[in-house]
Amino acid sequence: MQLRYNFRLYPTVGQQVSLAKAFGCARVVFNDALAARREAFEVGKRISDGELSKRLTEAKQTPEREWLGEVSAVVLQQALADLNTAYRNFFTSSSGKRKGAKVAPPRYRSRKDSRQSIRFTRNAKFTVTSGRKLRLPKIGDVVVRWSRELPSAPTSVTVVKDAAGRYFASFVVQVDTELLPEVDSEVGIDLGLTSFAVLSDGKTIASPRFLRQAERKLRKAQKALSRKEKGSFNRAKARLKVAKAHTKVADTRRDWAHKHSTAIIRDNQAVYVEDLCVKGLARTRLAKSVHDAGWAMFTRMLEEKANRYGREFGRVDRFFPSSQMCSVCGALSGSKPLHVRAWTCTCGTTHDRDLNAAKNILAAGRADSPTLVELVSASASVEQPALKQEPTGSAA
């Protein structure tokens, strides 16, 4: 299986200029090819991938685009490949061959986009030097902060500049499946807002609310940005402060999710979660808390790590009445308002709302019924369009 390993880069001022040229050239090639495809579509024609590559070669010989020769040719070819992939995904999604959410057609790239990237493949002959630097063609040897060793030789590397002005190298490497020792425990997980997750074995993961904790600092930085004159250097510096504050929150949330998802996969042979429709919940009054929780990122990590380490992962249908069913007798008690955190079944059992739901999710996952659970294999899971009937937890 293929994995990405990300490392922080520290280019010099000259290398930052060279990277900016490469970002700009890749963006221009992408936009030119997109414009050519749209013009051909308007007259009922179709441009092949080979024709676009030929046009790129010819453009380098013209005075208007001769500066494209200042960057690696592989970077420009990969920009064309990105456009071809985007169109292929759009057409397969429109025709129904691609499952999941609908894919929008490609859009023009802007130099003001929060994320700029270029990709080097093996053809570009990038390499890690003996001095542990990343050697990139027409850019030079860039300092890398290595946090761990690469498990194998990378097949490609993507250089990314984020909104906070940081540079990263994302290596694609081939790794073998690392099977963890088998364990007897299985767990169902009920995700919520009051508590981030309640496990069927009784464990509770508190909701960290990283965005809520940083709101005061973010609000102050955003106010300072709003007072700056558009186009000024002070506005650019204020925008960078806002971006750094947001990236700190995102990085902290991602690190927290990695640690907890790894612990759950390591300690359980099978993991089952509810197939929440996060996009639908993000359009409700709980939108801010839903985005802050990061449920989709957390469940995606669980799925990817289960595939990597030989664990079983399943999604229980979002319309399964996990909060309404008694985990002891199976009786349905009907829907309950969100402020009801505990209830008593007709069989006399008193349930904690979230723990009972987690136990029902585990039972549904173990039943492996097609109407209740979709077991996820190495391929991407199918996203259901319907909304969850009720969100768990309450607004933070």
Q: Give the pLDDT score at 368.
A: 62
Is the pTM higher than 0.75? yes
Count Cβ atoms within 10 A of the Cβ of residue 23 and give its class: 0-12 exposed, 13-18 middle, 19 or more buried: buried
More confident residue, 4 or 372: 4
Residue 114 backbone zone (phi > 0: left; psi -120 to 50: alpha; other: beta): alpha
Question: What is the torsional sign of CA 259, 262, 267, 272?
Answer: positive
User: Please, what's the b/e burial string for 107-122 (b: 16 or more CB within 10 A of its CB; e: otherwise)?
Assistant: eebeeeeeebbbbbbe
Question: What is the torsional sign of CA 378, 382, 387, 389?
Answer: negative
Q: Give the pLDDT score at 334.
A: 83
pLDDT tens digits for 17-71? 999 999 999 999 999 999 999 999 988 888 888 999 999 999 999 999 999 999 9
Name the CA dihedral angle for 233, 236, 238, 240, rounded to a multiple of 10 degrees: -140
Residues belonging to the active site: 190, 274, 354
Q: Give the pLDDT score at 387.
A: 36
pLDDT tens digits for 189-229? 999 998 999 999 999 999 999 999 999 999 999 999 999 99
pLDDT tens digits for 255-286? 999 999 999 999 999 999 998 888 888 888 88
pLDDT tens digits for 103-130? 999 999 999 999 999 999 999 999 999 9
Is the pLDDT reported for residue 384 higher than 70?
no
